[in-house]
A and B are shown apart, each in its own frame.
Chain A
Amino acid sequence: MAVAMPKLDDAVLARRAEIVAGLKHIVPGEGVIASEEAMRPYESDGLTAYRALPMVVVLPETTAQVSAVLTYCHREGIKVVPRGAGTSLSGGALPLGDGVLLGMAKFKRIRAIDFENRLAVVEPGVTNLAVSQAVDHAGFYYAPDPSSQIACTIGGNVAENSGGVHCLKYGVTTNNVLGCEMVLMNGEVLRLGGSYLDAAGYDLLGVVTGSEGLLGVITEVTVRLLKKPECARAALLGFAASEDAGDCVARIIGAGIIPGGMEMMDRPAIKAAEEFVHAGYPLDVEALLIVELDGPCAEVDYLLERVQEIARGCGALTCRLSNSEDERLLFWAGRKAAFPAVGRISPDYYCMDGTIPRAQLPLVLRRMQEMSAKYALRVANVFHAGDGNLHPLILYDANEPGELERAEEFGADILRLCVEVGGVLTGEHGVGVEKRDLMPAMFSETDLKQQQRLKCAFDDSGLLNPGKVFPTLHRCAELGRLHVHGGQLAFPDLPRF
């Protein structure tokens, strides 16, 4: 593990047996897991390069139990790491050796479906896909669709502000949640928002969404439901150069078209995907675009024609339109299998997640090729082209000494490049532990301190998911001090309390 985690608290570890007993008192039966063997499945999340056994795993079933567990841990000074399905790609749910892993998997109920108000009230352990499945019969769905949607949970989606391939048109999690119930580290239970659009007061739900489990534990979520589009069709467009594909994307948006999905793959990704699923991708192109239009059939047909014209104008070598649902799904099959496809051509791969201003794509791809040569590691790219979210897949072999470290350095260089060209470190996977130490590439010390002060407003003990997101931990008392700048203080020597 290349990243330093908070120092283990020996005093807490020495009290492990007592703590396990205390937790069993709150969550009876099989809700407390303390044996090493049974805790093993919780030792990492989707970022498997990082592993740690928690001190103990607790699986509460009610908000009251969550509140009691947090109250207990707050009082006893015990760290807590919340976890949904553990699909985080940034180590957001990485356990702490002296911490309680609070698994929310038993919160599996869909509490209410309200088609009139187009919303559903669900517990955080419900999977993303299960929400859509529960409302499918009435022609509704829940829009954010991270690629892990079969496994990832709504609670985790809120924590990470998850996106998906359709988010340019339909938004990410934060645009699709209306309310939540959450428990603060001190055990207080709060309700934010509800069954209406504009919540009162500060938009705390907006800041809790994407807070990576550092501000509170979500125990219920109210999500918006959307009507499923009547039709969806896709265009498969191949280009001789990534510049042409980028130009095509810009012109589609310039023409006022916001596709439901717009994905790009580079040559190595195309080749790996085609060899894996035989989607019929052209192998003689440098860049492939999948452009999906959804909505009323009349609109989709009309806009798809326009997209085709634009693509031809950009010198597309391949231009195929899906003429059946099977064909549309086939176009997507390669893209959706891109990660496992790359997994077939390399023992291991490391998935990055920067976002860039789209116009910078050719430059970023070129610089990435130079880095690829420097680090002697191959890279394949899949790209949410509409919103500039880039997923470079760095190919390496963990059994080769030094390759993982090289891959991590390569990845860090890519993310620094993203920031350098005006982009950001992470578009949808989160900072977690993975990108924690890169935060200073994007934020100043002042920026980070202000964020940490906000953390203190929610959790002044710093016990909730410490070691994630922020490269340096500060005590809240220290952060709270007011430093007056620039010598404007009338009486600089006056004692202040």
Chain B
Amino acid sequence: MAQNVKPRDAAEVEQAINEAIAGGKTLEIVGHGSKRVIGRAAQWDMTLDLSGLSGVTLYEPAELVLSAKVGTPLSEIETLLAGSGQRLAFEPMDYGPLLGRADGGATIGGVLSSNLSGPRRIKAGAARDHFLGVTAVSGRGETFKSGGRVVKNVTGYDLCKLLAGSWGTLAAMTDVTVKTLPRAETERTMLVLGLDEAPAGKLMTAVMGSFADASAAAHMPPTLVKRIAAIAAADGSVTAFRIEGVPPSVAHRAALLEDLARSYGRLGTLDEPSSRELWRGVRDATPFAAGGPSGGRDVWRISTAPASGAELGRALTERVRAEVLYDWAGGLIWAALPPSDDAAAGLVRALVAERGGNAKLIRAPASVRAVVDVFQPQAPALAALTKRVRESFDPRGVLNPGRMWAGV
């Protein structure tokens, strides 16, 4: 039975890690555990529960900055920001639906550790682009800081970038500072109905190269359309574009987008509440929700060159019978595959490699995650560098060993 350690403050985090080092134990780092089942199925001696480090410590809307303890619930931060007309522009997704966990379970630390983002990634960047400062305890048991609380800073190496997306394998963060941005005054979503993947891909490329300045672009094949309430009434596929901003700007750009899209197919529009609902669904990949019709499928998250997305999606559909959701104008593919012993990892990665990109196995039974690479395998020189980077923070492999790659 794994022991659970729940520090009350940063000093106790340092203490816990030092004890683990001294005792030769490995630690699993968790916040609220909402993404606990992502990663290789590995075993750890103890759990380091950071949910006790909670609370916003600084929020200055005019400076566009917020600091919080690492276990602060994301929902608490989002509510606070909304009160000042702001948000986290990178639109962090909620893995709750996909992984069959309660909605809203994320902490700010988990969001940053997994470098989450959502549909607005194409315009606003990912968590890493908004991560300004950090205090963390390395796997050496030492507390260090990097970055600061200002939005422009090049003093020393940008360790925030490195910690973002490191899944707790380098350090246990205790305090973080992120950039906040104003919410858009209004939003509207334009729909283009009935397109196959290829023309949808072409249209998304055209829109992203236009003055429409879409803050999200996604394509949903007919099967998936039925699973998102905001668009379920549509007949056939839906290609959707979100336009955000001040009212005159939104009206102008929506008209521009209509002109651009008219020759592709029938047009539709979603008002603000429906628009929000749609993009929450796309953000959280709800068509593949654990409790839904595809809940038993294995789910891959694939990052590729946007203009290759449609073709890659087509290949995944034909070769591995995937259901495919396209976000980021084609640059992000969610692929849900019928259950198998290896989630078709070899074929999926070969198809991705032909077009450039990487694939992460987000959802699969532990037995599958124990035998396939969950994270993209790396070329030898890069793998060796990754290992050295890991060891520079955590030479004994105390923090989340094996979560990203075996032996790292």
Contact = CB atoms under 8 A, between A and B. Distances in A.
Interface of A: 114-118, 140, 160-161, 163, 167-168, 171-172, 174-175, 184, 188-192, 194-207, 209-211, 227, 230, 250-251, 253-258, 295-299, 301-303, 355-359, 384, 387-389, 422-431, 435, 439, 442-444, 446-451, 453-458, 469, 480, 482-486, 488-490
B162 A197 contact: no
Given A206-B164, A230-B211, A423-B150, A457 B382 contact: no
Given A196-B358, A295-B249, A428 B159 contact: no
Interface in B225-262: 245-246, 248-249, 251-253
A171 B126 CA distance: 12
Contacts of A449: 142
A450 B393 contact: yes
A167 B152 contact: yes
B299 interface: no
A194 B22 contact: no
Contacts of A450: 138, 142, 144, 159, 392-393
Given A196-B357, A207-B161, A423-B150, A201 B375 contact: yes
16 contacts: A197-B331, A198-B126, A200-B378, A201-B382, A253-B182, A299-B245, A357-B60, A389-B152, A424-B148, A427-B153, A435-B155, A451-B159, A454-B157, A482-B396, A484-B18, A486-B15
B404 interface: yes
B129 A302 contact: no
Given A296-B249, A446-B143, A488-B18, A358 B63 contact: yes
Contacts of B162: 202-204, 206-207, 454
B18 A175 contact: no
Contacts, number: 287
Given A200-B376, A453-B393, A485-B18, A207 B157 contact: yes
A255 B246 CA distance: 11
Contacts of B210: 227
Contact of B154 (A251, A358, A428, A439): A428
A167 B156 CA distance: 19
B288 interface: no
A453 B151 CA distance: 25
Nearest to B139: A482
B150 A422 contact: yes
Contacts of A209: 158, 161
B126 A482 contact: no
Given A117-B305, A253-B64, A457 B249 contact: no
Contacts of A198: 115, 117, 121, 126, 303, 332, 358
Contacts of B62: 250-251, 253-254, 358-359
Nearest to B358: A200
Contact of A457 (B18, B164, B252, B392): B392
Contacts of A486: 14-15, 18
A168 B150 CA distance: 11
A181 B54 CA distance: 40
Contact of B389 (A167, A388, A454): A454
Given A490-B22, A490-B23, 13 more contacts: A168-B151, A194-B356, A196-B306, A197-B303, A206-B164, A211-B157, A296-B252, A355-B153, A357-B63, A357-B65, A427-B150, A447-B156, A455-B157
B329 to A, nearest CB: 9
B342 interface: no
Given A161-B158, A197-B303, A486-B18, A422 B152 contact: no
A422 B385 CA distance: 34
Contacts of A118: 208-209, 306
Contacts of A201: 375-376, 378, 382, 386, 404
A111 to B, nearest CB: 15
B205 interface: yes
Contacts of B146: 447, 451
Contacts of B143: 446
Given A184-B385, A451-B159, A172 B138 contact: no
Nearest to B21: A484
B280 interface: no
In the A-B complex, list the 10 residue pairs whose CB atoms are closest, starting with the nearest: A206-B161, A299-B249, A256-B182, A200-B376, A200-B358, A457-B388, A116-B307, A250-B62, A453-B392, A195-B305
A299 B306 contact: no
A194 B376 CA distance: 14
A476 B14 CA distance: 24
